Amino acid sequence: MAPSVLRTSVYILLLFIINTLASPPSSIEVVNRECNSLECEYVLHVSGVSHWSLTEEPGVSGDVCTKQTYIYPVGVQVVRAPNTRLFLCGENDHGWFYDGVILDGDVTARSTCMTIRCLVLVFVDCKTGV
């Protein structure tokens, strides 16, 4: 590989890393949740992305999210959705990506996290360990 091509590749990689680190992490707070057998009403506060979406398409944190079922602006939103497992996707400058947050209608918001315990149990609330 020519030195100029290698240098360009390194610059592109560095720009990507800097861009990724400069983006604020997204966060979601479930302010309130009420569910019946058919649907749930969530009061959610989402920040750190330009838009966010809930989808029934499964995905893990960092994967590209191709189906945005319900799209919302950031901030506090009241969301009525089916009482099913929903996955949160966030939009940034690079497109739509799964955030790692899962809303289990009759349970609570759960986050997939990268610890041994979470990997073994798959979907574990990282704050409570449940």
Q: Look at residue 120 in the predicted model and tell me its pLDDT.
A: 34
How far is residue 72's CA from residue 88's CA, in Å, rounded to a whole number?
11
**Is residue 77 in some structural domain?**
yes
Q: Look at residue 18 in the predicted model and tell me its pLDDT.
A: 47
Q: How many domains does the chain have?
A: 1
**Is residue 3 in some structural domain?**
no
- 94 vs 15, more confident: 94
Q: Look at residue 23 in the predicted model and tell me its pLDDT.
A: 45
Both structure tokens of 34:
């009420």
Instruction: Check if the beta carbon of residue 69 is closer than 8 Å to that of residue 56.
Output: yes
How far is residue 105's CA from residue 61's CA, in Å, rounded to a whole number?
19
Q: Tokens 């330009």 correspond to what residue?
A: 50
Q: pLDDT averaged over the chain?
A: 70
Instruction: Check if the beta carbon of residue 74 is closer than 8 Å to that of residue 80.
Output: no
**Is residue 19 in some structural domain?**
no
**Is residue 54 in some structural domain?**
yes
The model's confidence at residue 130, banded by pLDDT at 50, 70 and 90, is very low
How far is residue 47's CA from residue 37's CA, in Å, rounded to a whole number?
29
Q: Look at residue 13 in the predicted model and tell me its pLDDT.
A: 54
The radius of gyration computed from the CA coordinates of the chain, to the nearest angstrom, equals 17
**Is residue 104 in some structural domain?**
yes
Q: Look at residue 106 in the predicted model and tell me its pLDDT.
A: 63
**Is residue 109 in some structural domain?**
yes
Q: Look at residue 3 in the predicted model and tell me its pLDDT.
A: 66
Q: What angle do CA 128, 70, 126 make, to 5 degrees?
A: 10
Both structure tokens of 42:
């969530």
**Is residue 64 in some structural domain?**
yes
Domain coverage including residue 60:
25-121
Per residue in 66-88, pLDDT tens?
Answer: 887 778 888 888 888 888 888 88
Task: For the full predicted model, state whether its pTM sits above 0.85.
Answer: no
What mean pLDDT comes out for the span 29-54? 85
Kind of pairing between the strands at 39-55 and 70-82: antiparallel
**Is residue 55 in some structural domain?**
yes
Output the domain CATH number for residue 63.
2.60.40
Q: Look at residue 99 in the predicted model and tell me its pLDDT.
A: 81
Q: Look at residue 122 in the predicted model and tell me its pLDDT.
A: 36
